[in-house]
Structure 1
């Protein structure tokens, strides 16, 4: 076993990479390809004509606001270091005067927020307020999360310790622009999903109580709670009717003794509507089978009640995650997003005339913006608003302007706009490319489709080196995490974790590798049957067939050396990396396993009841046989393990245990460990260090280059 010292492996500062034979044009460094800003958290307040977002550049997180009427963009924060404190949950007040956000991460099982810098003072997750004119620095409201402005923008709700708190907002010019936060009410359980009523006099919320959830309405003037259609179910995602007299919610059956969560499973669900005054409710529609779960957990808005009096909700009951419309009186169900595609991020303007959404319809390995009319009874005919080779998601509309997150195969995710119906796009942010970002040196990935041994069709993205010289090159197979993810033919839209992975696949291709990013079964983007494939993960690892098929595809290429194929991936991709080395060290020469699962049976007993995959006692044997730990006698290939020890998704003990066992068997192992960082590394420098270690490891194992200090220039 070898401990990696990253300073020893620094590669190519300022664009100069290591020297090797068969050098390729367009060389650039890891730091360069990770240098562009990456935008998340796009929100809008159309009434005020404003949109906001978070930009992260080399670990520095900043909040921006754009005035759609004046065209002015203002930076609202001045954080200047890579401190690992996330910014999320942005909201803009209806009057446009305030923006609120959450800084820091949620607490773990020990009650500690992420502290990746090991700050002796600790870390917290807190709610902040900042005026949108940039006149003062953000104001810390209190520890908590999930802020929500009242309809007038004069009050702010937020959650703290599972209870709802309130703060009053005063004028911007006062010395004390906010009042001291206070608990709004006390209720048993964990309160979440809270929403102001249209008149601002009541608060709708879910009370999570273990086996069951209740929907409640708190009246601020009466200081009383009304429980809405209480039963023995897990009621969730409540929404108000436009007139505030009714609420709708999703009803999921209550929990049974011994029932365990299965992230890849499903459950029945129903749409209910209830009268607020009486608390009496009735079912409008229920799913034909276990079509819920993913369709409620994945979307940001699983249920809506529009101003045109339509209920909109997600379901997979027709084989794809679609959005459906239902009259609040019951009746005919309408599929608003038909076709062999997934519907994802959605937006409905205040007038309720259209639904805007992102989808991979007609372009299965990308995302584009679509819209569909919500008025009238005419046939539903969605229309595409963006097309081409870009990746467009998260639409919002302010006036006649469509704003969205936009990326391409050689451009990181930024904020773009266009007039609704126009074909030309204006990049709003960033307005200039990052100085070191190597846009012109990147390679456009190619769509590849092949079949596994059992006939399952598998999609992948192929990254080829820039040189056209047909030489036998080493190859790498990348496997995403989740597994409910889908890598695309462009910069990834769902967080920096996968955006970074896409960037490093580009970098690896520039270093001379043939890189294949595989969308194995159990992932999203190709329908429910693909996502819920039989015998996946702890029930048989059926998705490993897709990795073997990827290797077979690479071996068939004349530009690939079949003896030099490596594996890499994070989380579930780390699991598949380890599984490949354990089962087929004869096929895979080496691997980089980033916080992977190594023993499903152990996870099912120690991580949580069932380990998140409902692994019961009767399945323990199959779960262990589906794990890398089962095949250690066949593991010969070297592996680099990377893990942070405050990982809340995959226990750090998974890597500790496996490395000890491989050491005992004499298997070459190297480790890179980050004290106090989390699963999705919160420090940018830790991503850089990870990829530098990966680069050095693969260079040594697959290119037979000595590991030595590398020259660099600025």
Structure 2
């Protein structure tokens, strides 16, 4: 059974106005704006969590730019437990449920990527914004307990802890929460021991990170075998007597030493105070640690640990015994496929995971027994299922498809899937179905992408665009994306197609989903920008299509995609007629790196410069749109001001816009809409309506 949260969205879908079209049947400027506004306003679900002891899920929904928390029991119609009403850019994140699901904690404001930095204020409020930890009780009362992040409940739900920079706060739910520990650095993770007597944390000190625990009874801090590495992803064993964690070292040079190994799996015995290395990968594939965001170590029982590993060249979940034997890992998920999210069942006998097994461009949810049983799909849906959570005995996934943005689907054993909020397009919106396509780069690399073709006859010659995602560790799919940034980009690509553009979204090398060799391909980024070959190959592919005008090909993208957009216009203004560059990197040079000789540093800087768009500024003559938020912590705002100055010196036509106080991924829906309106108008003038 499908449910909508009240009737407001359904009414909006019914009453949405018909969009204005040109004589050719494509959207005009007003129609494009209205479609974008409708698509960006659709409910979008993220940050899905589940209660460990009951079938209760919670997630954050963004609807019409406003973020709120929804709670659903076993997939039933959800209850909205927060009451925010403004598209003011206030983020909601760090969602946590008590084990019985009766209490909810979350963070209001701030930036989950940069929680120790000043809270953003994109709505230009006259007062300073703050990053606040909230607790919502079973009665629905919402209480601010302090400034910070990482709210975490104890195993009985009676205690809560959170952190702010290097300070740990602790107290009983409903009582005053007090600071109990302050250390230099930033506490970036928290976990309670099963018996509630200890709090495990990771302390980031930039050059290294160490793992410690706070003894609640003794009011004492201890560190677990502190070393010279980045220790991360600590996890208590089920009996609370041991902690598993990953110890990593970051390579200094670009060179690949065939004997190098950069990480190991550690087990710390809390009873004896002794630490030991239980497994180290072989040199070669998988010798550098890699995991997806939000996934880490899991204990199958007190003697086996599950961990992510790329030993076969693909990210898989593997298991290893910690008993001191040969410790040969057993991989539970299939080869030639990657995982993006994984959780254990409540009884720790099965692993739930999302994977692109069978088709690297399709993601689905799977289940496999830890005894080696055959893996089975959790649903028969064709939707992209990229994230999951477990609540009691139920599993829920974040799903999306070509017509529906990310939404929650609850998969209870023996029951039909339940969709608590079912986003539906208004009848006035007609989206194209993107095609999965493949083509080859000039050096033979196979490249995957999605092709958005305008509806109607393919005999007409259309302007075309290459879209390049950011990251660069991302993968675009033939559906709305589960990341808000790229869900918006998908809406934009759909709207561009409705305006008459053929759009090719390129999954260039250094992206995820296609194995370690593709993600870590030679000479990528600052080491030579080899991924640009795939972008250029995308333009070459577009020229082979009968419905594309080869003289009207443009490019657009943000972040790393902004970098590649600028690189394309700088190197190949003869191919790309114009472009839109959102918050891109334009000068890739860095300061000297410790551990490299002066000559090695010079060689690295020369390569960084050659990989930079500004290195080819003399060849740049195509017009470009520049958009950047001036409170960007991911890409320095000066990267765009530098490019504007250099384009001015070259006499290149460009249009420039900034959002005061906005972050890298714009926090306000209105700012996304405005940026896309600028893009539509700019591309219409410089590409769609231009003459060869």
TM-score, normalised relative to structure 1: 0.88
* 1:152 equivalent in alignment to 2:156: yes
What's 1:697 paired with? 682
2:105 corresponds in structure 1 to: 100
Deviation at 1:437, TM superposition (A): 7.5
Q: Indicate conservation of the 8 Å contact 1:410/1:490, yes or no.
A: yes
- The corresponding residue for 1:586 is 574
Find out whether 1:20 has 2:22 as its counterpart.
Answer: yes
Number of residue equivalences = 663
Q: Distance in 1 between matches of 2:676 and 2:664?
A: 15
In the alignment, does 2:281 pair up with 1:287?
yes
Match of 1:227 in 2: 223
Name 1:55's counterpart in structure 2: 61
C-alpha distance after superposition, 1:660-714 (max 9, x if no partner): 11122211100121011000000110000011111111111222289xxxxxxxx
What is residue 658 of structure 1 aligned with on the other side? 643
Task: After superposition, give the CA deviation of every residue in 1:211-265 in whole Å (9 maximum; x if it has no partner).
Answer: 4333223221122233323333332211111111111111124x79x78999xxx
Match of 2:86 in 1: 81
Residues 1:482 and 2:471 are matched in the alignment: yes
- 1:664–1:293 distance in 2 versus 1, CA, 3 Å: farther
C-alpha distance in structure 1 between counterparts of 2:601 and 2:20, whole Å: 50
Instruction: Name the structure 2 match of 1:324.
Output: 318
> In 2 relative to 1, CA 293–21 (structure 1 residues): closer, same or farther, beyond 3 Å?
farther
Q: Which runs of structure 2 are paired with 1:58-69 in the superposition (5 Å)? A: 58-68=64-74
Please give the per-residue CA displacement for 1:457-512, whole angstroms capped at 9, x wherever unaligned. 0001001111125101100110000000000011111x210000011111111111
- Classify 1:209/1:476 alpha carbon distance in 2 versus 1 (closer, same or farther; 3 Å): closer
Aligned counterpart, 2:8: none
Alpha-carbon RMSD: 2.7
- Out of 326-335 and 454-463, give the one that drifted further: 326-335
> After the TM superposition, which of the residue ranges 683-692 and 357-366 deviates more from structure 2?
357-366
Match of 1:711 in 2: none
- Equivalent residue in structure 1 for 2:339, among 336, 339, 343: 343
Q: In structure 1, how many angstroms separate the alpha carbons of the residues matched to 2:207 and 2:120? A: 29
Cα gap change, 1:180 to 1:656, in 2 (>3 Å): same
Instruction: Specify whether residues 295 and 411 from structure 1 end up closer, same or farther in structure 2 by C-alpha distance, changes over 3 A only.
Output: farther
Structure 2 stretches lacking a partner, 5+ long: 1-14
What are the residue-to-residue correspondences of 1:363-442 with 2, within 5 Å? 363-374=359-370, 376=371, 379=372, 381-420=374-413, 424-430=416-422, 433=424, 435=426, 438=429, 441-442=430-431
CA-to-partner distance for each residue in 1:423-462, whole Å, 9 max, x for gaps? x5332113x6365772xx1111101101001000000100
Q: Deviations over 1:7-29 (max 9, x none)?
A: xxxxxx95555553422489662
Check conservation: 2:555, 2:578, Cα contact below 8 A: yes
Q: Distance between the aligned counterparts of 2:114 and 2:225, measured in 1?
A: 33
Using a 3 Å threshold, how does the CA distance of structure 1 residues 140 and 300 change in structure 2: closer, same or farther? Answer: same
- The residue aligned with 2:450 is 461
The 3 A distance-change label for structure 1 pair 294 and 65 is: farther
Is the CA contact 2:74–2:410 (under 8 Å) kept in the aligned structure 1? no
Distance 1:616-1:596 versus aligned 2 partners, 3 A rule: farther
Measure, in 2, the Cα distance between the counterparts of 1:111 and 1:490.
Answer: 34
How far the C-alpha of 1:550 sits from its partner, in A, is: 0.8
Residues 267 and 291, structure 1, Cα contact 8 Å, conserved in 2: no
SS in 2 for 1:411: coil
Q: Please state if 1:300 is matched with 2:288.
A: no
Higher relative contact order (CA 8 A, sep 6+): 1
> Are the counterparts in 1 of residues 286 and 313 from structure 2 also a CA contact under 8 Å?
no
Instruction: Tell me what 2:535 maps to.
Output: 547
Alignment-derived partner of residue 278 in structure 1? 272
Native 8 Å contact 1:84 1:683 kept in 2:
yes
Counterpart Cα distance in 1 of 2:591 and 2:297? 34
8 Å Cα contact 2:560/2:584 also seen in 1: yes
